[in-house]
Amino acid sequence: MLEIIGLIIKISIVVGVTQGAVAYLILVERKIAAFSQDRIGPNRVGPLGLLQPIVDGVKMFLKEDVTPNYVNKPIFILAPFLSIVTAMIGFAVVPFGPVGPNGPGLFDGPIQFQIAPGIDIGLLYIFAVGSLAVYGVILAGYSSNNKYSFLGGLRSSAQIISYEIPMGLSVLGIVLLASSLDLNTIIQWQDKNAWGIFVQPLGFFIFLICAFAETNRLPFDLPESEQELVGGFHTEYSSMKFGMFFLGEYLHVITVSFLVVILYLGGWDPPFVSLGDSGWLMAILKVGTLITKVLAMIVFVMWIRWTLPRFRYDRLMELAWKRMIPLAIGNTVVTALILQLIRR
Amino acid sequence: MHDFPPSVLTRCLLICLCGGLGTFLMMPTRRQFAKPAVVFALGTGLVAFAALNLIGLGAGPAPIVSRMFFYVFGIASVLGGTLMITARDPVHSALWFAVVVLATSGLFMMAGAGFLAAGTVIVYAGAIIVTFLFVIMLAQSGGKADYDRLARQPAQASLTGFILIWSLLIVILSDPNYHGGLEGSVEPVVVNSRLIPASDLVTVRKLMPEHPGAIVLGKTLTPQLSTPDHLGKGLPAGVPAPQVAGLGSALYTTHLISSEVVGAILFVALAGAVVIATPRKSNSAA
């Protein structure tokens, strides 16, 4: 029974923290945007504009929720929920800190900083959940019964499906090296040997590019390219339903940043220092390292937005199918070959 | 083969009859698009009755949380399957299909077959159903066509389908490894897949429900943890990580030829798809 209560507490913490983080990420994004454009950004509500997210949230709830009468209603309502749920459930296997038998003890046993530790197929699970993210977008586009939404939805699904392939292929290298699909084992391997970015530079870059594409952010935000498609798949959505798509997008950014950090940037392993295995202090340091890296990664994602222009649609598809997939396959083959030669 | 108590056989028959008839009544037919509500309600009632009986036939896993999830996934897959067949809007059908796939993956996960679960979700829910949705949406630009909304041969289809379900039920219930259905007095044993080396098998003593008091020796798998049992803690030391490594080594040693052949066929299919999809430049230029 205690386990189940612990599990519920962990889930609540993860859900609460990520949802709260999203609100502040929007503020961070606006500040970075302002900085890039030589503006000041939101600074009216609270000191440094720090209360802005709360006001934004209230505004989102209080706006009129317009549902056009030509939409396919059940699917129209379902789509934003799917968008959030598919972005959220990936967190079940993401480690937020050290996981293992030596963690700091509480009640009967070590605390595991992961909702579902010991899942052998962690990475596969994340890809399975990630492949569901397309539903929110495609259903929103379809049910809106509007050409712009539909085109946005189609583009986005094509993009997400295409970029899933190089993404899946690119992580095979690090999986081969760590010889596990479990995210903790991959971090531990990096802790003992070297960070993924050093042993798998090509895999890292392919994964990073695909991660941007999967989150639908610039330079890959074709589904909602304002100039051509009004708002893309969420043109017809207003109020909190639109807010849920927004939330889903930012949750995706967080998940993807976690993944990049865990797979290629050493997870909770700080650079130059080696942390011990047991005790509260080490656990807190590890969690802190991981969160710092993830925050840095998120800022990087937002910074890129103001650095690169949007791709043209055919270029986008070419990049995935003609450049990245062959590169990712080559990366896998070379990694396997070298591993086999070393092992002999 | 077990000797079935006649009650179990009758129950299977009842389930299949009610389910088949109910599904038939719920399906959209050629003659009328909208069935009278009474007929539809009757069909729903029969299907619900069959589904409830089907649930009663098995005993879920023992821990309460696992049992809860088991029932949620089981009911979702049966319900999703029925609605997938009987929905009038093809997009809704595709979505119910996705529900079936997800619920089934949940059941796989509970049986300890995580790789299978993830694979099913990636391949079916993530790729195939999305392709279905694409095709349905693009083909429907001129409004919903009649042929999308009605079932071709509902009677024959229901009959065939439920004969299949009946035979499956009988086969499952007569499997000596299956104990849930018959009285439920025996500890359920985890049996996931056949791709397992013989060294993992252990001999156990088990009670046979139909011969009270008799103890029979049988082969079964080393008991594995069911997923929810270690959700809070992580795997205890010494338990080997199952699934992926075992599956991989089985595929690339025992079943090497088959997987190579499958790979070759898929590769040929890929090449064929590229050839078919490429527009022919000479024709368009001429």
Write the pLDDT tens digit of every residue in B7-53. Answer: 777 778 888 888 888 888 777 766 555 567 777 788 888 888 888 77
Q: If you measure CA to CA, which chain B residue comes closest to A7? A: B232
Name the token pair of B15. Answer: 């389930």
Residues of B in contact with A147 (CB under 8 A): none
CATH of B6-174, one of 1.10.1060.10, 3.20.130.10, 1.20.1290.10, 1.20.120.1200: 1.20.120.1200
Q: What residues pair up with A110 in beta bridges, in sequence order?
A: A105
Cα four-point dihedral sign A113, A114, A118, A124: negative
Given an 8 Å threshold on Cβ–Cβ distance, is A99 in contact with B234?
yes
Share of chain A above pLDDT 70, in %: 92
Given an 8 Å threshold on Cβ–Cβ distance, is B231 in contact with A3?
yes
B161 vs A: CB within 8 A: no
Q: Which pLDDT band holds residue A226 (cuts at 50, 70, 90)?
A: low
pLDDT confidence of residue A237: 80
B37 vs A: CB within 8 A: no
Of A108 and A12, more confident: A12
Mean pLDDT of A91-96: 85
Mean pLDDT of A285-305: 88
pLDDT confidence of residue B269: 94
pLDDT confidence of residue B61: 65
CA angle at A251 for the pair A166 and A231, rounded to the nearest 5°: 85
Per-residue model confidence as pLDDT tens digits over A229-243:
666 777 778 778 888
Share of chain A above pLDDT 90, in %: 9
pLDDT confidence of residue B263: 93
Q: Long-range CB contacts (< 8 A, 24+ apart) of B231-239?
A: B231/A3, B231/A7, B231/A116, B232/A2, B232/A3, B232/A4, B232/A6, B232/A7, B232/A112, B233/A3, B233/A109, B233/A112, B233/A117, B233/A118, B234/A99, B234/A100, B234/A101, B234/A112, B234/A117, B234/A118, B235/A118, B237/A101
Closest Cα in chain B, distance from residue A55 (Å): 36
Which of the residue ranges A19-33, A63-77, A232-246, B220-234 has the most confident prediction, judged by mean pLDDT? A19-33
Given an 8 Å threshold on Cβ–Cβ distance, is B233 in contact with A117?
yes
B54 vs A: CB within 8 A: no
Q: Which pLDDT band holds residue A332 (cuts at 50, 70, 90)?
A: very high
Which of the residue ranges A16-20, B110-114, B194-198 has the most confident prediction, judged by mean pLDDT? A16-20
Name the 3-class secondary structure at A105. Answer: strand
Given an 8 Å threshold on Cβ–Cβ distance, is B98 in contact with A135?
yes
Residues of A in contact with B244 (CB under 8 A): 120-121, 124, 181
Name the token pair of A166. Answer: 């190089």
Per-residue model confidence as pLDDT tens digits over B241-254:
456 777 777 788 88
Residues of A in contact with B114 (CB under 8 A): 119-121, 124-125
Whether the CB-CB separation of A123 and A183 falls below 8 Å is answered with yes
Averaged pLDDT score across all residues of chain B: 71
Of B231 and A192, more confident: A192
Share of chain B above pLDDT 90, in %: 9
Whether the CB-CB separation of B102 and B86 falls below 8 Å is answered with no
- Whether residue B57 is predicted with pLDDT greater than 80 in this model: the reply is no
pLDDT confidence of residue A54: 85
Which of the residue ranges A11-15, A102-106, B250-254 has the most confident prediction, judged by mean pLDDT? A11-15
Given an 8 Å threshold on Cβ–Cβ distance, is A3 in contact with B121?
no
B98 vs A: CB within 8 A: yes
Of A21 and B194, more confident: A21
Q: Give the DSSP letter string of chain B.
A: -PPPPHHHHHHHHHHHHHHHHHHHHHS--SS-SS--HHHHHHHHHHHHHHHHHHHHHS---SSHHHHHHHHHHHHHHHHHHHHHHH-SSHHHHHHHHHHHHHHHHHHHHHTT-HHHHHHHIIIIIIIIHHHHHHHHHHHTTTS--HHHHS-SSHHHHHHHHHHHHHHHHHHHHH-TT--TTTTT-S-------S---GGGEEEEEEE-TTSTT-EEEEEEEPPPPPGGGGTTT-PPTTPPP-THHHHHHHHHTTTHHHHHHHHHHHHHHHHHHHHHHSPPHHHHH-
Beta strands in chain A (DSSP E): none
**Reported pTM:** 0.80
Q: Is residue A286 part of a domain?
A: yes
- For an interface test with B, give the residue of A121, A161, A165 to mutate (most B CBs within 10 A): A121
- Whether residue A328 is predicted with pLDDT greater than 90 in this model: the reply is yes
Given an 8 Å threshold on Cβ–Cβ distance, is A124 in contact with B119?
yes
In whole angstroms, how far apart are CA A28 and each of A172, A222, A251, A303, B62?
A: 33, 23, 14, 10, 48
Distance, CA of A71 to CA of A69 (rounded, Å): 6
pLDDT confidence of residue B14: 82
pLDDT confidence of residue B262: 94
Mean pLDDT of A318-324: 88
Residues of A in contact with B125 (CB under 8 A): 128, 131-132
Contacts of residue A250, defined as CB under 8 A and 6 or more positions apart, other chains included, come to: A22, A25, A26
Q: Which pLDDT band holds residue B224 (cuts at 50, 70, 90)?
A: very low
Pick B130's closest partner by Cβ from A134, A150, A181: A134
Q: Which pLDDT band holds residue A101 (cuts at 50, 70, 90)?
A: low
Q: Which pLDDT band holds residue B206 (cuts at 50, 70, 90)?
A: very low
Q: If you measure CA to CA, which chain B residue comes closest to A161? A: B127
Pick A128's closest partner by Cβ from B118, B227, B242: B118
pLDDT confidence of residue B257: 92
- For an interface test with A, give the residue of B101, B128, B130, B138 to mutate (most A CBs within 10 A): B130
Residues of B in contact with A109 (CB under 8 A): 233
What are the sequence ranges of the domains in chain B?
6-174
Q: Which pLDDT band holds residue A62 (cuts at 50, 70, 90)?
A: confident
Range of the domain at A248: 64-343
pLDDT confidence of residue B33: 57
Residues of B in contact with A74 (CB under 8 A): 92
Closest Cα in chain B, distance from residue A24 (Å): 30
Closest Cα in chain A, distance from residue B204 (Å): 27
Given an 8 Å threshold on Cβ–Cβ distance, is B98 in contact with A109?
no
In whole angstroms, how far apart are CA B106 and each of A193, A243, A277, B36, B168?
A: 35, 29, 34, 36, 20
Q: What residues pair up with B215 in beta bridges, in sequence order?
A: B207
- Whether residue B221 is predicted with pLDDT greater than 50 in this model: the reply is no
Distance, CA of B46 to CA of B40 (rounded, Å): 10
The burial class, CB within 10 Å (0-12 / 13-18 / 19+), for B1 is exposed
Closest Cα in chain B, distance from residue A286 (Å): 19
Of A142 and A337, more confident: A337
Pick B243's closest partner by Cβ from A2, A121, A161: A121
Name the token pair of B89. Answer: 């809007």
Pick A127's closest partner by Cβ from B122, B134, B234: B122
Number of domains in chain A: 1
Given an 8 Å threshold on Cβ–Cβ distance, is B125 in contact with A131?
yes
- Whether residue B155 is predicted with pLDDT greater than 90 in this model: the reply is no
- For an interface test with B, give the residue of A10, A11, A125, A184 to mutate (most B CBs within 10 A): A125
Mean pLDDT of B260-284: 85
